[in-house]
Amino acid sequence: MSGLPREDLIAVQNFGELVFDFTPRPARATGTITCTLQANYVDGENMAVIKDGFGNTYTFEADPAADGVTAGSIQVDISGDTSAADVADALATAMAGDAGFAQTFTAVDNLDGTISLTHTHPGDAMNVTITENVVNAGHTVAGMSGGKSDFFNATETFKLFTIPTGKRVRIDKVELLVDGGVTGHASNFWDFEVRKDATVMHEYSTDSADEGTLAADTLTDMTASTTDENLVANETDIVSLVLTKNASAADMSPGRIKLHARYV
């Protein structure tokens, strides 16, 4: 969330417009591989099959016999290893040694038998499940998960400001703008709420049964609570913007809200 200052702004203005931009927080997908003792691997087992989200698949094959691997697989030579930490070191080395994989993933050997993976590109398209077929239960994989794109694709909450001690602030009106707009839908829709703590002050829903479609790049009034006291935030109340994704609502672009506020 970016925009004008928070508490210092509201502390000096008796009445005015507070403008806040809301933008997604892109994140890179992460994963973990936990290795086991070298003796627990069968020659030819896939230690990790990892897809990069761009159509490429990297298969890392255990080679305790040092006799080569299946065509198309990446060799993980563990013939001279013993401990789980040794095996993880060999796997991390194989990952770093493959140019395509190393450009797309960062693999960190944690020196304890585990490897931490991070995708070099943010985005939910990178949340592709790692698979393996090692029989021994001591070898596990987790991820990739946690990647987020430059668009909103999940519920988000942004703290705007906290009401200063000894103050009460009434928010008479809130205007909402989403750069790319949001098309109304009966089940796949976004809800927007300005709250003081858990109480809704102003809201807008792109549910077609409510306000519906939000035009692109256009300031639109949110609907004020019909309970007058809900429009007044008291000292120490936290005023937040909550964006809620319902069902399979389409990804949403960044936007802006304008709060018309005054002391009471």
223: nearest Cα among 233, 215, 231, 234 = 231
Same domain, 46 and 102: yes
Q: What is the pLDDT along the chain (264 residues), one digit of tens a residue?
A: 444 334 444 444 455 889 999 988 888 999 999 999 999 999 999 999 999 999 999 999 999 999 999 999 999 999 999 999 999 999 999 999 999 999 999 999 999 999 999 999 998 889 999 999 999 999 999 999 999 888 898 899 999 999 999 999 999 999 999 999 999 999 999 999 999 999 999 999 999 999 999 999 999 999 999 999 999 999 999 999 999 999 999 999 999 999 999 999
Same domain, 204 and 256: yes
Same domain, 70 and 176: no
Same domain, 195 and 228: yes
140: nearest Cα among 60, 42, 33 = 33
Domain enclosing residue 89, as ranges: 29-145
pTM: 0.64
Same domain, 223 and 131: no
Which of 119, 145, 171 is where one domain is finished? 145
Same domain, 19 and 94: no
- The number of distinct structural domains making up the chain is 2
Distance CA 84, CA 116 (A): 15
Same domain, 137 and 193: no
Q: What is the CATH number of the domain that holds 186?
A: 2.60.120
Same domain, 93 and 157: no
Same domain, 39 and 95: yes
Same domain, 33 and 20: no
Query: What tokens appear for 60 in the block?
Result: 């890392």
Return the SS3 of 35: coil
Same domain, 104 and 155: no
Which of 112, 145, 178 is where one domain is finished? 145
Residues counted in the chain: 264
Same domain, 183 and 215: yes
Sequence-separated (6 or more) residues with CB below 8 Å from residue 42: 62, 64, 134, 135
Q: What are phi and psi of 194, to 5 degrees?
A: -100, 125
Give the 3-state DSSP-derived string for 152-193, with helices as H, strands as E and coil as C: ECCCEEEEEEECCCCCCEEEEEEEEEECCCECCECCCCEEEE
Which of 87, 119, 145 is where one domain is finished? 145
Give the 3-state DSSP-derived string for 129-150, with helices as H, strands as E and coil as C: CCECCCCCCCCEEEEEECCECC
Distance CA 66, CA 78 (A): 7
